[in-house]
């Protein structure tokens, strides 16, 4: 749940202006480091944490943190969550804003791949080297290293401040979108004219003609239609912005509604990610983690497998697959973002199939007194790594390219909100499955015994595989609807590249 909170705060911390720089700097300098420093201090001082105990024992001997100790812990966690939520979407969008002009537009896809490569590198270091440090030197040292890493990131950020391209402030994205819905509701009985003479406030009519979603959500068009009664009465007083909106504001609202189904289809994908970071680690703990007779694999480090694979796959994708697909399809990024997302959503089900097959075999061996090697859990992580490379980067690129002016950070934040909703859906699924299966099958349900030899984790994995397949077909329907009537160019592509390649998303 806390991991989900880290990502849900992205929607709060996004901005589409020069304020990106302020948010990023404050996150590096104040919010994130303070959270890590608090965690480090609490892990180091005995008076700020409960007495040590064996957490693996089920006898209830471990004392729960309460009062001041608990408050420090949650304040530190939410500082890290708030800092991460403000940092990630603004960092991605700020980097994308540096690619302006028709020449640099072709490098935008490469930038998103490079940014995701850096993210995977950081995850790999955190799940291997940092886990090793925390295991051998203590949690306080590990959190202290994290705070130092944020300070190093701040130095790196500031060193290039003189070269950044910053857009002028444009205000919050929430206000104009809210105005569109209020104005459309207020003028719900108004009839939209067939010509563009009454449309918008000082907006050129050509904007409506090049907009991809111009024929969708037509009820919102009434927000930029002038009041007929006021015109007939000769009243020259300008209407309130909450009654008459600009064409660009209506386009922003339509874009948000149009991308919502695509966003929703990625939530199940991130629910699978949540299982790999929880149950699959527990699954690895129940297997033989000794390799070569001496080396023991920490179960928590198993999450590093997809990121290690991605460090190889992302460059291979950029250097090999993109040039090949570019010659085959004629698009600048090789395959379009929607196609890339579709490949990822289509392959993620195989990760759950592999996980369910291995878990069934593990239970059978455990019942007979045997143990499987932890290496058998690698395939499910590898398949998910391939799926994530396509889905995660494709979603970021899709949102950025579809964003109207001033919406880049907002839509980029939706990418990370998908992680949040995926983790929250994971918690809801586990609770619901336990209740339903306990009611019909007795005991604690598929996942209620906290013992994999008694639980039916394999059946839960099969359910997620089926859910992923269903979600993939839903995505195909949503993607086809999204591209319907796509006569215009992409919003960001039209801004960045004068030629506006419509193939880029279709």
Q: What is the pLDDT of residues 348-402, one digit of tens each?
A: 999 999 999 999 999 888 888 888 888 888 888 889 888 988 998 888 888 888 8
Checking if the pLDDT of 206 tops 50, the result is: no
What is the predicted pLDDT for the residue at 131? 82
Confidence of residue 345 (pLDDT cuts 50, 70, 90): very high
Q: Does 301 share its domain with 415?
A: yes
Q: Convert the pLDDT of each residue in 29-44 to its tens digit.
A: 567 778 888 889 888 8
Task: Indicate if 185 and 310 belong to the same structural domain.
Answer: no
pLDDT for residue 461 is more than 90: yes
Mean predicted confidence (pLDDT) in 152-157: 80
| pLDDT value at 478 more than 90 | yes
Tell me if 57 is assigned to some domain. no
- Is residue 84 domain-shared with residue 179, that is, in the same domain? no
What mean pLDDT comes out for the span 88-117? Answer: 73
pLDDT digits (tens, 9 = 90+) for 5-19: 444 444 444 444 444
Angle at 124 between CA 122 and CA 106, to 5 degrees: 55
Looking at the predicted structure, is the pLDDT value of residue 83 above 90? Answer: no
CB contact at 8 A, 433 and 445: yes
pLDDT band, residue 156 (cuts 50/70/90): confident
Q: Determine, yes or no, domain membership for 59.
A: no
Please give the pLDDT value at position 415: 81
Q: Residue 407: its pLDDT value, please?
A: 77
Residues 6+ apart with CB under 8 A from 71: none
In angstroms, the CA 111 to CA 496 distance is 14
CA distance 72 to 196: 58
Provide, rounded to the nearest whole percent, the portion of the chain with pLDDT above 70. Answer: 78
Instruction: Pick 186 or 208 by higher pLDDT.
Output: 186
Give Cβ neighbours of residue 322 (< 8 Å, ≥ 6 apart).
109, 333, 334
Average pLDDT, the chain: 77
Which of residues 253, 287, 305 is at a domain's end? 253
Evaluate whether residue 384 is within a structural domain: yes
Number of domains into which the chain is organized: 2
What is the pLDDT at residue 194? 56
In the beta sheet, which residues pair with residue 288? 373
Pick the residue with more confidence: 424 or 300? 424
Q: Could you identify the residue written with the tokens 């019942």? A: 367
Is 374 among the domain residues? Answer: yes
Res 491 pLDDT > 60: no
Whether residue 202 has pLDDT greater than 90: no
- 340 in the same domain as 205: no
Q: What share of the chain is helix, strand, coil (3-state, %, to 5)?
A: 70, 0, 30
Greater pLDDT, 46 or 167: 46
**Residue % of the chain over a pLDDT of 90:** 14
Question: Quick check: is 393 in a domain?
Answer: yes
pLDDT of residue 54: 67
Which one has a higher pLDDT value, 26 or 110? 110
Q: How confident is the model at residue 269 (pLDDT cuts 50, 70, 90)?
A: very high
Q: What is the average pLDDT across 432-455?
A: 79
| Domain shared by 481 and 338, yes or no | yes
356 in the same domain as 456: yes
Calpha distance 229→343 (Å, rounded) = 52
332/394 same-domain check? yes
Q: Which is more confidently placed, 156 or 379?
A: 379
The DSSP letter of residue 295 is: E
The stretch 93-106 carries a mean pLDDT of: 66
pLDDT at 140 exceeding the cut of 50: yes
User: Whose CA is closest to 129, among 301, 281, 291, 299?
Assistant: 301
- Same domain? 324 vs 408: yes
pLDDT beyond 80 at 23: no
Average pLDDT over every residue of 306-335? 81
The range of the structural domain enclosing residue 219 comes to 174-253
Whether the per-residue pLDDT at 470 is higher than 90: the answer is: yes
pTM: 0.79
DSSP assignments along 233-271, one per residue: TT--SPPPTTTS--HHHHHHHHHHHHHHHHHHHTHHHHH
Tell me, what CATH number does 315's domain have?
Answer: 1.20.1250.20
Q: Is the pLDDT of residue 81 over 70?
A: yes
Assess whether pLDDT exceeds 50 at residue 213. Answer: yes
Q: Quick one: pLDDT band at residue 127, thresholds 50, 70, 90?
A: confident
Q: How many C-alpha atoms does 503 have within 13 Å on its Cβ side? A: 10
Say if residue 420 is in the same domain as residue 329.
yes
pLDDT at residue 207 greater than cutoff 60: no
499 within domain boundaries? no
Taking 90 as the threshold, does the pLDDT of residue 316 lie above it?
no
Answer yes or no: is pLDDT of 504 > 60: no
Higher-confidence residue of 351 and 241: namely: 351
Same domain for 206 and 258: no
Q: Examine the domain organization and report whether 387 and 423 are in the same domain.
A: yes
């Amino acid at each position: 749940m806390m991991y989900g909170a880290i990502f849900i705060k992205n929607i709060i911390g996004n901005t589409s202006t020069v304020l990106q720089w302020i948010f990023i700097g404050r996150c590096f300098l104040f919010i994130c480091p303070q959270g890590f420093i608090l965690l480090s201090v609490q892990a180091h001082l005995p008076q700020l944490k409960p007495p040590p105990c064996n957490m693996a024992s089920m006898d209830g001997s471990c004392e729960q943190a309460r009062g001041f100790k608990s408050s420090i812990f949650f304040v530190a966690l939410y500082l890290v969550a708030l800092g991460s939520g403000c940092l990630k979407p603004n960092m991605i969008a700020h980097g994308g804003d540096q690619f302006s002009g028709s020449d640099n537009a072709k490098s935008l896809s490469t930038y998103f791949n490079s940014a995701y490569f850096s993210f995977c590198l950081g995850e790999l270091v955190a799940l291997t080297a940092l886990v090793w440090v925390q295991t051998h030197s203590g949690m306080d040292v590990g959190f202290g290293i994290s705070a130092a890493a944020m300070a190093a990131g701040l130095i790196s950020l500031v060193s290039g401040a003189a070269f950044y391209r910053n857009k002028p402030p444009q205000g919050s994205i929430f206000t104009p979108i809210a105005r569109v819905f209020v104005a459309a509701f207020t003028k719900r009985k108004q009839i939209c004219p067939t010509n563009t003479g009454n449309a918008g406030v000082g907006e050129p009519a050509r904007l409506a003609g090049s907009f991809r979603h111009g024929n969708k959500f037509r009820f919102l068009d009434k927000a930029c239609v002038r009041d007929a009664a006021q015109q007939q009465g000769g009243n020259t007083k300008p209407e309130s912005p909450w009654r008459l909106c600009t064409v660009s504001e209506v386009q922003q609202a339509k874009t948000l509604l149009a991308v919502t189904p695509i966003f929703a289809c990625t939530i199940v994908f991130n629910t699978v990610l949540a299982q790999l970071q929880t149950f699959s680690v527990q699954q690895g703990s129940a297997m033989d983690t000794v390799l070569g007779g001496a080396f023991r694999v920490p179960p928590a480090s198993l999450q590093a497998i997809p990121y290690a694979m991605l460090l190889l796959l992302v460059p291979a994708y950029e250097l090999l697959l993109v040039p090949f697909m570019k010659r085959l399809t004629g698009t600048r990024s090789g395959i379009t973002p929607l196609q890339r997302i579709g490949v990822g959503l289509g392959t993620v089900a195989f990760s759950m199939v592999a996980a369910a097959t291995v878990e069934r075999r593990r239970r059978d061996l455990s019942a007979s007194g045997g143990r499987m090697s932890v290496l058998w859990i690698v395939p499910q992580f590898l398949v998910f790594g391939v799926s994530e490379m396509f889905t995660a980067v494709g979603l970021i690129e899709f949102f950025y390219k579809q964003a109207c002016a001033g919406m880049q950070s907002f839509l980029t934040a939706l990418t990370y909100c998908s992680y949040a909703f995926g983790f929250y859906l994971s918690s809801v699924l586990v609770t619901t499955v336990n209740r339903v299966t306990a009611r019909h099958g007795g005991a604690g349900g598929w996942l209620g015994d906290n013992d994999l030899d008694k639980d039916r984790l394999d059946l839960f994995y099969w359910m997620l595989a089926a859910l992923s397949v269903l979600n993939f077909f839903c995505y195909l329907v949503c993607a086809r609807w999204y591209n319907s009537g796509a006569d215009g160019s992409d919003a960001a592509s039209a801004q960045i590249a004068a030629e506006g390649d419509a193939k880029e998303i279709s």
